[in-house]
């Protein structure tokens, strides 16, 4: 899912990016070693000779691949920047992470009757915070009523719990869940 601050990596994304980084780093080392004359089973020495490339070209390419590999290896380890919402109180500065607000909104929305699944994105807005909810609802429920109820509850609970106004509540109905059918024998 794409958030307001860029792409958020899922655990599978992190594994794939890490594996690609490891591959590039090893390839970079192999290319550089081949340029230095290494003659192992995965050596690129014959390729360098066929292309007429020298030591410096091999080392430059190897360094470039190694740097790209190390960057990709470190990318999944970076902490996602969550600026959050900053408030000034009598006690001092308070920062509430967007993830905390998203979890609160997810809990509040999932308690609404007729909602099966909820995904939430929150981002700062001029009014305080804006949230976008992606809902899967049960069949035979009134979508307009659910949307009104969710919007009202989210605004109230975020204001009461976090002390921040919710400027915009956007709702997207992703799906209507399949109904339970009883089987007659």
Strand partners, 85: 96
Residues 94 and 167 in one domain: yes
Residue 8: what pLDDT? 64
Domain, as residue range, for 106: 85-176
Distance CA 48, CA 31 (A): 9
In a domain, 182, yes or no: no
Residues 69 and 89 in one domain: no
In a domain, 115, yes or no: yes
Question: Total domain count for the chain?
Answer: 2
Higher pLDDT, 82 or 130: 130
Report whether pLDDT(131) > 90.
yes
CA dihedral 29, 32, 35, 40 (to 10 degrees): -10
Cα dist from 145 to 34, 73, 107, 152, whole Å: 68, 47, 18, 11
Residues 73 and 155 in one domain: no
Residues 66 and 96 in one domain: no
Residue 143: pLDDT band with limits 50, 70, 90: very high
Average pLDDT value for the chain: 82
- pLDDT tens profile 79-115: 555 567 877 778 788 888 899 999 999 999 999 999 9
Report whether pLDDT(175) > 80.
yes
**Residue reference for tokens 């976008």:** 132
Lowest mean pLDDT among 111-120, 144-153, 170-179: 170-179
Given 59, 77, 95, the domain boundary residue is: 77
In a domain, 2, yes or no: no
Given 77, 108, 135, the domain boundary residue is: 77
CATH number at residue 104: 3.30.70.1350
- pLDDT tens profile 19-45: 999 988 888 888 777 777 777 776 676
Residue 155: pLDDT band with limits 50, 70, 90: very high
Residues 63 and 90 in one domain: no
Residues 166 and 91 in one domain: yes
């Amino acid at each position: 899912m794409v958030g307001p601050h860029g792409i958020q990596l899922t655990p599978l994304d992190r594994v794939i990016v890490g594996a690609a980084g490891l591959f590039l780093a090893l390839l970079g080392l192999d290319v550089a070693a081949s340029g230095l004359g290494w003659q192992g089973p995965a050596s690129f020495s014959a390729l360098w000779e066929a292309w007429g490339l020298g030591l410096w070209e091999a080392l430059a390419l190897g360094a470039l691949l190694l740097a790209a590999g190390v960057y990709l290896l470190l990318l999944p380890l970076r902490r996602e920047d969550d600026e959050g919402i900053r408030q000034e109180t009598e006690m001092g500065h308070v920062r509430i992470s967007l993830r905390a607000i998203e979890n609160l909104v997810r809990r509040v929305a999932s308690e609404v009757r007729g909602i099966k699944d909820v995904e939430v994105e929150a981002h700062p807005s001029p009014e305080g915070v804006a949230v976008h909810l992606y809902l899967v609802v049960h069949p035979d429920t009134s979508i307009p009523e659910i949307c009104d109820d969710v919007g009202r509850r989210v605004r109230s609970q975020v204001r009461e719990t976090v002390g921040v106004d919710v400027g915009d509540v956007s709702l997207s109905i992703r799906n209507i869940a399949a109904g339970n059918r009883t089987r007659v024998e």
